[in-house]
Amino acid sequence: MLEVTRHSVKQRSDLTFKHNKSLGRHGWLRLTPAYSVKLVKEIIARFPPNIAILDPFSGTATTTLTAAEHGNSALSFDINPFLIWLGNVKCRSYSSDHLALVQDGAQQAIARVPALMKKDNWTPRLFNIERWWSADTLQALAALRTGLVEVFGEPAKDRATGLAWVAFCRLVIETSAAAFNHVSMSFSSETIDHEVEHVTDLYLVILDAVLASSGTQLRGQGAVVAVDARAIPEMGRRFNLVVTSPPYPNRISYIRELRPYMYWMKFLEEAREAGEMDWKAIGGTWGIATSRLNEWGPNGKVLPEVLTDAVGRIAKSDGKNAQLMATYVLKYFYDMHLHLSSLPNVLEPGAELHYIVGNSSFFGNMVDTPAILTASLLMLGYENTDSMVIRKRNCNKALFEYDVTARWPG
Ligand SMILES: C[S@@+](CC[C@H](N)C(=O)[O-])C[C@H]1O[C@@H](n2cnc3c(N)ncnc32)[C@H](O)[C@@H]1O
């Protein structure tokens, strides 16, 4: 069982994204805030087969893919266009003809690279790009990208050949100086010069691995759609189980880690767009998203008392930007409250909810995420609320991950 008592809680890397690396499609691209397939499987296994599963915060589509592998029908929401694209590529079934077509197309693209190396190819306008790739590596990546576009079309436009682009995304990370083993991504002090032949060979190795894990047919169905979880509309479809991991109130921006993929895939072209996108993300804090908080207020909305208490304590602390951080926490839970109020539009009566979330701390003031979410759930008419610690997130601080559960009446 997942439950553990708080004093005996361990970090449990098997319950994080690290567990997914070797699990076929789940391991294609890493997003450190992704949760573990194992966790999702354990929850799904407690329910009868053929229930409909929803993940309103898709990320890398761990829930939806796990559910589709298990034989369920599942849907996820996200607001990030790259993650929506990636989730759909991961959750599709592919014929052997399709895999052969991608393999063949990749060979054609690579055959064009020597001629393309003599040209001035498009490169992304990623800030400080020289920290990510040396000039030579960048030139080789850009030539390969142009070759792939000539054969397959731009990734954001042509969804059918997504597998070739997933392999390219993995390639840009493997050849970069970024270390993606922790949420606070770091860079090596020096970039490495990768010869063009090495770049194209590595691309083929990665593509082989991606294609090898794409052949298995999914038993169920999964898809990811663009829906803002703060305003879920009625969709003519309802779900029996919600398994999700929303952002945590800890100022981590998914955009930060996703930037290289998003720029190379042209889901992002200007730095300003990243801040705009993060303003829509719950807990988003990139660029303009933080400065906008100064003008933001909850507009008289009645929110749980336990939240207003926590926000008051943070605002009174003597840390730098204490008021701004208090507003950040308030906006995070305000957005989660909006989410939980629109969720019943897609819930079957009796639906069960599992929210994997973390607590946080601002200037020594603990933000008790499970208690605040539980208060929101109860205010909004959910019942059977509960929460349990599932793992410790950090070796020094009292930061934990919880499974917050509830039931929609019916
Ligand atoms: C913690 S991640 C989910 C990780 C996921 N469980 C996985 O395994 O990859 C949270 C996700 O919520 C998405 N998100 C943030 N605000 C959102 C909103 N308003 N509507 C829908 N999705 C949102 C983010 O883009 C991010 O992908």
- 65: Cα within 13 Å, side-chain hemisphere: 29
Residue 21 confidence class, pLDDT cut points 50, 70, 90: low
CA-closest candidate to residue 26, choices 63, 57, 56: 63
Q: Which two tokens stand for residue 147?
A: 């070759």
Residue 320 confidence class, pLDDT cut points 50, 70, 90: confident
Is residue 277 within 8 Å of 78, Cβ to Cβ? no
Domain coordinates in residue numbering, the chain:
6-93+221-254+282-407, 96-212
Ramachandran category for residue 5: left, alpha or beta (phi over 0 → left; psi -120 to 50 → alpha): beta
Interval between CA 108 and ligand 1 midpoint (Å): 36
Query: Does pLDDT of 126 surpass 70?
Result: yes
Backbone angles phi, psi at 302, to 5 degrees: -80, 125
The residue whose CB lies within 8 Å of the most ligand 1 atoms, and thus the one to mutate among 19, 28, 58, 286, is 58
Cα 63 from Cα 72, distance rounded (Å): 11
Mean pLDDT on 204-222? 93
Q: What is the CATH number of domain 6-93+221-254+282-407?
A: 3.40.50.150
Q: Which of 87-96, 242-251, 286-295, 389-398 has the lowest mean pLDDT?
A: 389-398
The residue whose CB lies within 8 Å of the most ligand 1 atoms, and thus the one to mutate among 40, 244, 259, 282, is 282
Residue 394 confidence class, pLDDT cut points 50, 70, 90: confident
Per-residue pLDDT at 374: 98
Per-residue pLDDT at 20: 54
Please tell me if the CB atom of residue 248 comes closer than 6 angstroms to any atom of ligand 1. Answer: no
Please tell me if the CB atom of residue 79 comes closer than 6 angstroms to any atom of ligand 1. Answer: yes
Which residues contact residue 6 at a Cβ distance below 8 angstroms, ignoring those fewer than 6 apart? 389, 400
Total residues found in the chain within this entry: 410
Q: Which of 17-26, 59-68, 116-125, 351-360 has the lowest mean pLDDT?
A: 17-26
The residue whose CB lies within 8 Å of the most ligand 1 atoms, and thus the one to mutate among 28, 57, 65, 244, is 57
Alpha helices in 177-251 (DSSP H): 196-212
Interval between CA 245 and ligand 1 midpoint (Å): 7
Please tell me if the CB atom of residue 170 comes closer than 6 angstroms to any atom of ligand 1. Answer: no
Residue 393 confidence class, pLDDT cut points 50, 70, 90: confident
Report percent pLDDT > 90 for the chain.
75
Residue 395 confidence class, pLDDT cut points 50, 70, 90: low
Ligand 1 atom 21, closest CA? 78
CA-closest candidate to residue 264, choices 141, 350, 351, 348: 141
